[in-house]
Chain A
Amino acid sequence: MLLSIENLSIRLPGRGDRPHAVKNLDLTLQENEILCVVGESGSGKSVTASAILGLLPPELKVESGRVMFEGRDLTKLSPAELRQVRGAGIGMIFQDPMTALNPLQRVGDQIAETFRIHTDLGKAEIRRRVVKLLTDMHLPDPELAARVYPHELSGGQRQRAMIAMALALEPRILIADEPTTALDVTTQAQILSLIRELQQRNRMGVLFITHDFGVVAEIGNRIAVMRMGEVVETGAADDVLNRPQHAYTKSLLAAVPLLKPPDRPPPEDGLEGHAALSILNVQKTYRRGLRRTVALKDVTLRLRRGSTLGIVGESGSGKSTLARCIVRLLETDGGAIEIGGADITRLTKQEWRKEARRVQMVFQDPYASLNPRRRVGELVAQGPVIHGARLADVMPKVRELFGLVGLDPEAVDRFPHEFSGGQRQRIALARALAMEPEILVADEPVSALDVSVQAQVLKLLADLQRKLNLSMVFITHDLRVAAQICDRVAIMQRGEVVEEGEPSRVLVAPQHPYAQALISAIPGRDWAMRRESP
C-alpha cells in the first residue's frame, strides 16, 4: 500500500451548511493503480487532495485521523519535512495550468527548479534531464519548449509542462486535481493517455480527482464516490460504473447524458418558410493592431422554428462569437443574419434596441451573468421595464416566470448570492423569457453546473421549448449534451462549419475527419456505448 488515509476529518470554519469538509474518510492508494475520486462541487474531493500534501487553506484544520505515506503521518510533519515529501515523494498537478505556472519564468527553468531544490545535480545534468522529461511528455520540440514562457504554449502543452514538473523526481504518487477540466476534449484525450502511459511506466499510484464520469471510465482502475465530505461507495471501476450499489452513485450515473441521440423523426416538410433564423455567409475577423484573427469564415446555418440547433466545437472554433453576433453583442463583417425575413445586421443601434426582445441569450457563468447588487425579481423584470413597462405591472408575470422555471415565486426579493448555481441559471432563463423572445441563444448554459443539476436544467429547457414553441440555438462543447437536446447539430472548427445535420447521423457516423476526431475523443466513449447498447 502506497498511501492510506485513515478516518480523516477536516473541520469547516464557522457555521456553514455542514460542520466538516471531510468526515471520517478512509481511502487507500495502491502501487500501480489509478484511483479516481468522483464527486460534485462541494463534495470534499479537492480538500482531500490538498490535505494529503498539507496544502489546506489556513481556515481548514485536520481534526482527526492520519494520512500515512512511507511509514509517516503526513498531517503531523513539520513544514520543512513536508517540503521534502512534496515533489520528491508525491507530485501534484492542478486544474488550470496557466495559473499554476509562473508567467515570468521560462518553462525549462521552472522544471529545473524542482531539481535544484531536491538534488545537487550540476547545471548541465539538470538541463539534460529537463529536456528528457519534456521529450517524455511528447512535446513536439522539447528543446524549444524549455526555452519559452508559459503563455507561448497552448493549454494542452502547458498541462504537459506541469506534469513534467510534477514527475521530475519520479515520485511514487501523483495527485491530479481535475487536470483536464480546462482543456478541450481532443486535448483532454491526449493528456489522459499521457497520464496513463507515465503511470504504467513508473508503476505510480495516481489519485485522480474529477467530476466527470466519462473521464473516470477512461482512466480509472478503482473509484471512490464522494458526497458531502464522505465516501459513499468504493470499488473496482467496472463494478462502480456498471453495477453501482449506492443510490447516490446510481443517481449520478443516471444524470450523465447518454451519447446516443433519442429518436426524433425529422419534420417531413423542408425548411422553406419555417426558418426562425437564417445565418447567411457570416464573416467576422478580430483585428488588434496588425494582428488579424478570423473568427467566422462564411458561416451559413438555418434554425427551424420551434427546434434546437446545436453548435458544437472546441475553444477557438468561433461558436461563442457566432452566438454573440446573433444577439448583436458583436457586429459582423459580412453576410446576413435574418430573423423573420429581415436582416438584423443592417439595423441601426437604436432600431435594434427596440427589436432586441426577439432574440434573448442565456450565458455560461451563472455567477457572473446576474448583477450581484440587484434583487432577482428586479433582474427578471428589467427587460420589460427597459421597454416601457412599469415594475409593479411586471411583477405578477415575474412571479409566474419563477414558477415556470421551477423556483419559488416568493424568492423574488432575494439577491443572486443567496442562490445556487443551478438556481441562478434558472433565474437567467426567466430573465430571457420575460422578453417573450422568438429565439433563445444559450451559450454553454450547463457547462458550469454539476452533472445532476445539469440534467435538471436541460430537462427544463426542453420542457419550456415545447411549452412556448421556442426556437433555440444551443452552444456547447459537450457532445453528450448536444446529442440529448438538439434537433440538428453543426460542428465548428476554426470559424467554419465542417459538418451539419441530425444528431443521429452527425454524432454517430460523422463524415468530416475533424468531426470524427472530436467524437472519438469523447471520454468514456466505449463505456457509454456498452452501457447504452440494449
Chain B
Amino acid sequence: MRTVRFFLTSPAGIIGLVLLVLVLAMAASAGTLYPNDPLSLAGRPLQAPFVNPRFVLGTDSSGRDVAAQMFHGARTSLLIGISATLVAIVVGVLVGSISGYYGGWVDVTLMRITEAFQTVPNFILLLVLVVIFGARMDLLAFMIGLVSWTAVARLTRAEFLTLRQREFVQACRVLGMGDLRIIFREILPNALPPVIVYASIVMAFSILLESALAFLGLSDPNVASWGKLIADGRRVLRTAWYVATMPGLAVLIAVLSVSLIGQGINDALNPRLRRD
C-alpha cells in the first residue's frame, strides 16, 4: 500500500500511467468501435486524416482504415508486450535464481548459456527464430520473450548472490528448510523489486521488437500491427506523411508509458527518495 502511495507521488509514474491507460482504452474499445476486420479494404486509398468522417485518421495505400488498424494494433502491441515480458521474466528469474543460489558449476553452466544468448544481437536471433518457426502471434510472444530474458537472469542472479549470504537464509537452512522453498518463498520476494522495475524495460523493448518485425514484413500477416502500418506508410512517406506518422506516435507513446511507469516504480521502491 505504501509503495502504491509513493508511486502516485512520482510525476514520471503518473504521466506513464495516464499514457498507458490511453493505450489500454484503445485496445479495449477496438472491438466495439471497429468491429470489422481492420485489414479489409474500406475505401479510397490515401485519404488525409480529419477530412472524411468515416475515416478519422485517413486510409493507407491499399484503402484500409488507419484508425481501425491503430486501435487493433494497440491490442497486438499490448498482447505481445505483456506475454513476451512474462516469458522473459519467468525464464530469467528461474535461471538467475538457481544460478545465484547454488553457485559453483550450476552457476558456471547457466551463465555460459546466458552469455551465448547475449553474444548474438537479440533482433538477429529473433529473425532466425521467426524464419524457422513462422510468425503466429502466440509463437511470436514466446520467441520475443526467449530473446530478452538474459538481462533479467543476470539481475536476479546478482540479487541472489548477496541475499543468499544473509543470515535469515542461513536461519532457514538451520530449520531444515528445503532449497526450492528457500529460493522461491524466502529469497525471491526480497529479490523481486529491481526485477519488476526492469520488467517495464523488457515490455517496452518487446513492443519495439514486434513493430520492427512487422516493419520488415515478418510479423503475423493476419493481424493489424503498428509496425506493419509504418512499413506501408514508408513507401508513400513523401506524398502521405500521415500513414507512417500516426502509428509511429503510437509506438512512441506505448514505449514511453511503460518506461515512465518503470521509473515511477523505481522511485517508489527507492527508500532514499521516500519522505515521510
Chain A residues at the B interface, C-beta cutoff of 8 Å: 14, 324, 327, 329, 352-354, 356-357, 359-361, 363-365, 368-373, 382-383, 386-387, 428, 431, 435
Contacts and interface: CB of A to CB of B under 8 A. Distances in A.
B177 interface: yes
Most buried by A among B167, B170, B175, B177: B175
A352 B190 CA distance: 27
B104 to A, nearest CB: 12
B189 interface: yes
Contacts of B167: 363-365, 368-369
Contacts of B189: 373
19 contacts: A14-B275, A327-B174, A329-B173, A356-B175, A357-B175, A363-B167, A363-B171, A369-B168, A370-B168, A370-B171, A371-B190, A372-B190, A382-B177, A383-B175, A386-B176, A386-B178, A387-B176, A428-B171, A431-B175
Interface of B: 166-168, 170-178, 181, 186, 189-190, 275-276
A376 to B, nearest CB: 12
Nearest to A14: B276
A383 B176 contact: yes
A359 B174 CA distance: 8
A317 to B, nearest CB: 20
Contacts of A373: 189-190
Most buried by A among B168, B171, B172, B275: B171
A382 B190 contact: no
Contact of B174 (A14, A329, A354, A370): A329
A382 B176 contact: no
Nearest to A15: B276
Nearest to B170: A329
Contacts of B190: 371-373
A371 B276 contact: no
Contacts of A370: 168, 171
Contacts of A428: 171
Contacts of B275: 14
A356 B174 contact: yes
Nearest to B166: A368
B57 to A, nearest CB: 48
A360 B172 contact: no
A56 B167 CA distance: 31
A382 B186 CA distance: 11
Given A14-B276, A368-B166, A371-B186, A356 B176 contact: yes
A365 B175 CA distance: 17
A369 B169 CA distance: 7
Contacts of A387: 176
Contacts of A327: 174
Contacts of B177: 382, 386
A82 B177 CA distance: 55
A374 B159 CA distance: 19
B174 A361 contact: yes
A369 B186 CA distance: 12
A354 B176 contact: yes
Most buried by A among B174, B177, B276: B174
Given A371-B186, A373-B189, A431 B176 contact: no
A352 B177 CA distance: 11
B43 to A, nearest CB: 57
Contacts of A382: 172, 175, 177
User: Which 5 pairs from chain A and chain B are nearest by CB?
Assistant: A356-B176, A369-B167, A353-B176, A363-B167, A383-B175
Contacts of B173: 329
A485 B166 CA distance: 27
A382 B182 CA distance: 12
A363 B170 contact: yes
Given A357-B176, A373-B189, A435-B175, 17 more contacts: A14-B276, A327-B174, A329-B170, A329-B173, A329-B174, A356-B174, A356-B176, A359-B174, A360-B174, A360-B175, A361-B170, A361-B171, A361-B174, A363-B170, A371-B186, A386-B176, A386-B178
Contacts of A386: 175-178, 181
A339 to B, nearest CB: 14
Nearest to A363: B167
B176 A368 contact: no
A353 B186 CA distance: 17
Nearest to B179: A349
A16 B263 CA distance: 29
Nearest to A361: B174
Most buried by A among B170, B181, B276: B170
